[in-house]
Every structure is written in C-alpha cells, then in structure tokens.
Amino acid sequence: MEIPSENIIVIGGSAGAYELIVEILDSLPTAFSDAIVIVLHRNSKYETKIECSLSKRLNRNVISVRDKLPILGNHIYFAPPGYHTLVEPDHIFSLDISDPVQFSRPSIDVFFESVAAVYGKHATAFILSGANNDGSEGLKTLINYGAVCYAQNPQEAVIETMPQAGMQSSKKVKVLSNQQIIDYFSQLT
C-alpha cells in the first residue's frame, strides 16, 4: 500500500495559465517526493484531454482527481471540471457539486482552504494568471495555517487579475517571475 504524501504543492490558475503550467511540469525532475495538484478553471461542457495529452507529452502519469483517490507523492493531479475538489483529513480527495464560487467549479479558493485545514505548513501554493479573484481567499487561509504561498508576477501573467489579487491577500505572499517558478519546480527532490 502506498503512503499518502506528507507534503503538497498546489497550483491555481485560469485564463492564460496553461502554458506556464506545461513549462512547470516539463521542468520537473524524474522523481519528487511531494504531490502536485492543479486547479485550472475549465468548462465542464467541453471535454478536454489535458491529463491524457500531458501524460503523453511528459511521459509521466498526470491524473484527473477522482473521489476517494489517495494523494501520493511523485504524482501530478488535475481537478476535474464541474466539481469542487477537496482534501479530506486522511489525505484523500473528495469531489463536491455545490454551487460555483467566483463563478468557478472547481474553485481554487475551495480547494486551497481544504488543503490549509489538512496540510497546513506542509503545503506550498502558487497562484497564476486568471481573470477573477479566485484563489486570493484560499491563499490567505493557507498563510494563516503556516503554508508558503507564491503569486506569479502580474507583469508576466497573460491576465494579471488573479495573481494581483493573490498578492494583495497577504503581505506574506511572495511574488516570483515565471522563470523563478519554473526553477522552483525543477529543483524538487
């Protein structure tokens, strides 16, 4: 039986974030100990094959979150469109179909807040390009639980609204350039 990851890295993004996410995942070392979970705003009306295409491109397992799936290290997960993704205390995912938050389901705020309650200081969060404020409340909650939080430099984001709101959520949110974000992931062990 595989043991759930003690540490988690979470990434939230929306419009304009996908290309940077691909660069991040492309930079990852062959093996790393943390779980990486990405909440990307996607419309559930349209079938996307992000996980499948990234698995082929990166030659690694990129998984769509399923209900009751354990959160394992050296795994990359994407929140599925049409569901809020949550983390339960025993380090498994759960999916929820309650109302959209910030016009989004999955909501970055909902996910980040559940991560904060379970992982606390063992979480690291990144907020990337996007056109609304989703993620800013979640970053504030993560920081209150001792997590380390980063925002993409708004000047380098395709759409600056989301990282700008993330920066303004707390003085403890650190701003990184795109290259600094990529470097962070390339140095995971």
Residue 34: CATH number of its domain = 3.40.50.180
* List 34, 134, 136, 169, catalytic entry: 134
Residue 2 lies in a domain: no
What residues make up the domain containing 156?
8-186
Number of domains in the chain: 1
What per-residue confidence (pLDDT) applies to 51? 87
Q: Which of 48-52, 54-58, 144-148 has the highest mean pLDDT?
A: 144-148
Residue 3, domain member (yes or no)? no
34 classed as catalytic: no
pLDDT, residue 46, reads 61
Q: Using alpha carbons only, what angle is made at residue 95 by residues 161 and 55, rounded to the nearest 5 degrees?
A: 75
Give how far the C-alpha of residue 157 lies from the chain's centroid of Cα atoms, to the nearest Å. Answer: 16
What is the reported pLDDT for 47? Answer: 60
Mean predicted lDDT score pLDDT of the chain? 94
| pLDDT (average), residues 4-15 | 96
Asked if pLDDT for residue 48 goes beyond 70, the answer is no
